[in-house]
Structure 1
Amino acid sequence: MTRACFSSCLRMSPSMNSDNPLDPVYKAFSVEEDCFRVATYAIEAQHTEFMCPARFMKATREEAETVLQDAEQQAADLAILALFATFERFVIDHLQTANRLLGAGYPQQYSAKLAQKFESEVEYWRFVEILNLFKGEVGADLIGKVKQIKQYRDWVAHRNPSKPAPPQTSPGAAFHILTEVIERIRLSHTPPIEEDEVEAAALASVE
């Protein structure tokens, strides 16, 4: 790794939307990636002042690189777990919030009870079934990609030796796919603002 590459490591980060619930998770993983780049550079350049005496001082370059590669893969797998858990919570919270509109429907008592039942029980639905609810707005292909990420997440979480590992997913790919789903859900499921609400907001801003 050259000095120019090393100096650019800490500047490399994806563009992030502050309204995206996945941003803090992916930002943390990006920092970890930068740290691995710094550690790799320190080993390649033999900057012993940056090396942990207990782990790297007596290790060969190949041994140190193997330790870093294993740690980087572990960090990537944990990022997949955290990204999908955050995405799962967003989807369920979104359904519960949207469901409150049903509670104000007709017939009122029936709608209110149905809304309460849905909001309390959606937590326990199979998440694959929840994803299927969004196929129309999000698209079957994109939902299929989310299910593939979930398969890899499940394998990382349980690592059942009797089951083959599914296709690997990188944190970067998971971040962008899940972010696109979040944006499409918000776009299609957010009620449009009525004209009178816009006018009221404009008047309030003037005052």
Structure 2
Amino acid sequence: QQVWNIVRQADHPSLGVLLDSFHTLSLKGDPSAIAEIPGDKIFFVQMADAPILAMDVLEWSRHFRCFPGQGEFDLPGFLAPIIKSGYTGPLSLEIFNDGFRAAPPRANAADGLRSLLYLEEKTRQRLAEEVPSMGNADILFATPPASEYNGIEFLEFAVDDNLGAKLSHWLERLGFVKAGQHRSKNVSLLRQGDINLILNSEPYSFAHSFFEAHGPSLCATAVRVKNSASA
């Protein structure tokens, strides 16, 4: 509110407000008054979630910020009044924590995009409850209808070489036929009609880690859908 009062009194076209969810919510501020700021005077919006911690705010900010939906802040409650104001600009992720600094940038980028879509969807739902007739909520992401489900494509089992050979032998006695072998990995395909079973004994893989934790077990299920992108 203090920042907006300064911007309003200055009344200069090149002066606007930058909003940051962490700075507001970590100090238990009420974001509802943001709706009273004209949207064209909000120049930029930074989003960050965080777990609720009782510690120094600076340390909290530098080491425990996370993507929307991964913490405990009410980020839809922060973004909703911003959209009500008429703001249509970008949403920035300002995330500081040690894990993100060490993680691969491509994985971080994909995770960040998912978190923004999640936040937009939750905010859109919040606005639909509060202001059903609000028009500019359409700029927010809405989940498309679920893609048509057409059955199971394959079941994948985590095994080691010894158990994989035994399971393959048992399945062949039940009428399954070995239909394929991965060209470079210890992964084989057995088929009976429309039933596809994959035996994965590849070392240093997800299946190997799953086997180490659970023994021989189902580690993945693939489903057939009409549109994989929307699914």
Normalising by structure 2, report the TM-score: 0.23
Kindly name which structure, 1 or 2, has the bigger radius of gyration based on alpha carbons: 2
Structure with the larger RCO, 1 or 2 (CA within 8 Å, 6+ apart) = 1
- Structure showing the higher helix proportion among its residues: 1
* Structure holding more strand per residue: 2
Taking structure 1 as the reference length, the TM-score comes to: 0.25
